[in-house]
Amino acid sequence: MSSLFYILVFPGFLFLSFFALWVEYLDRKIYARLQNRIGPPWFQPTADFIKLLAKEDLIPRDANPTFFILAPILALTAAVTAFLYIPIWGPVSLFSFTGDVIVILYLLTIPTLCFFIGGWYSTSLYCRLGAVRTVTQLFAYEVPLLMGILSPAILANTWSLSEMVSFYSQHPWYWLINLIGFVVALVAVHGKLEKTPFDIPEAETEIVAGGFTEYSGRLLAFFRLTIDIEMIVAGALLAVVFLPFGLHSGPVIGFIGFVFKVLFMVVLFSLARTVFARLRIDQMISFCWKYLVPLALLQLLINLVLKGIIKL
C-alpha cells in the first residue's frame, strides 16, 4: 500500500508532475529575465497543460494510430519510473538494487526512442526529419554521457546508486576527482534534454516542431510533461552522482539539498539556452566525438588508475 503511495503521489507521479511544471516556469522566467523581458506568470505551464488536456487529439490519416498514441504514454511512464530509483531524501532510494544506475540510464533512453517512434509513425515529412535527427543526436551524446556517469560508479566500485552515495559520503572530497566527468555529463545531457545548443530535433525555424508537429491535445500534453520530467530526472541524476553531499544528514536536509541541487542544474540549463546559438547536426556530432569523448575517456582513465591506488 505504501508503495502505491510512493509511486503515485510522493515522490512519484503527482509530486513529480507539479515539481516539473514549476521548474518549467522557473526555466522560462529565468530565460526571460536574462533577455530583459518579464516572462510568464507562475501558473503558465500548469495552465498550458490543462488547456492541452481539453483540446481534441487529431490523429493524421496516414499515421499509425497504435504507435502514435503509445509513444507519449510510454515516454511519460519511463521518465517517471526512472525517478523512483534516485535517492532523494536519504542515501537509499525507494527501490534500489545493484545495477540501478544502468537501469536509470536505459529508462532515460526510452523517451528519446519514443520521440523517434512518435515522429516516424506520424509519416509527415517534418516529423520524420525531426525523428531521424533525434536518433542521430543519440549517437553523439549517449557515449560521453554514459561514460561520464559511470566513471564515479567505477571509482566507488559499485553499480548501485545508493552504495555510490554511501561511498562518497564516507570520503567527502572524492567528488572533486569527478569534475571532468561532471562537465562532460553536463554538456552531454543538453543533448538528451534537447536544449540549446543541442535542440536540433525540435528546431522551430527549420522543421516546424520536429517530431511533435502532428501532435495535439492530450498526447502533446504528455510529451511536454515528459520533457519537463526528464529535465528533473536528469538533473537529479547528475546531482546525486556528482554532488553527493547532504544525503546522510537526515531526510529533511537531504530533500532540501536535492531541491537546491536540481534548481542549480536548471539555472545552468537556462543560462546555456540564453548564450548559445543552435548547432547544426553535423557540427554537433563532430563536437561530441572530437571533444567530449576524449574528455570522458580521460575521466574514465583517471578513475581506473585511482581505484587501483585506493585499493592499495
Q: Which residues bind another protein (CB under 8 A)?
A: 30, 32-38, 125-126, 129, 132, 196-197, 199-200, 203-208, 271-272, 274-283
**Per-residue CA distances from 252 to 20, 194, 247, 257 (Å):** 20, 32, 9, 8
**Cα–Cα distance measured from residue 212 to residue 224, given in angstroms and rounded to the nearest whole number:** 9
Q: Which is nearer to another protein, 26 or 94 (CB)?
A: 26
**Cα–Cα distance measured from residue 286 to residue 29, given in angstroms and rounded to the nearest whole number:** 32
**Cα–Cα distance measured from residue 307 to residue 301, given in angstroms and rounded to the nearest whole number:** 10
Instruction: Count CB neighbours of 154 within 10 A.
Output: 16
Q: How far is the CB of 266 from another protein (least distance, A)?
A: 15
Q: How far is the CB of 144 from another protein (least distance, A)?
A: 17
Q: How far is the CB of 210 from another protein (least distance, A)?
A: 11
Q: Which is nearer to another protein, 25 or 85 (CB)?
A: 25
Q: How far is the CB of 278 from another protein (least distance, A)?
A: 3
Are the beta carbons of 250 and 13 closer than 8 angstroms?
Answer: no
Q: How far is the CB of 310 from another protein (least distance, A)?
A: 33
Q: How far is the CB of 281 from another protein (least distance, A)?
A: 6
Q: Considering only CA atoms, which of 157, 51, 158 is closest in space to residue 98?
A: 158
State the virtual CA torsion across 34, 40, 43, 45 in degrees, nearest 10: -80
Q: Between vectors from CA 150 to CA 146 and to CA 155, what angle results, nearest 5°?
A: 160
**Residue holding cell 523517434?**
116
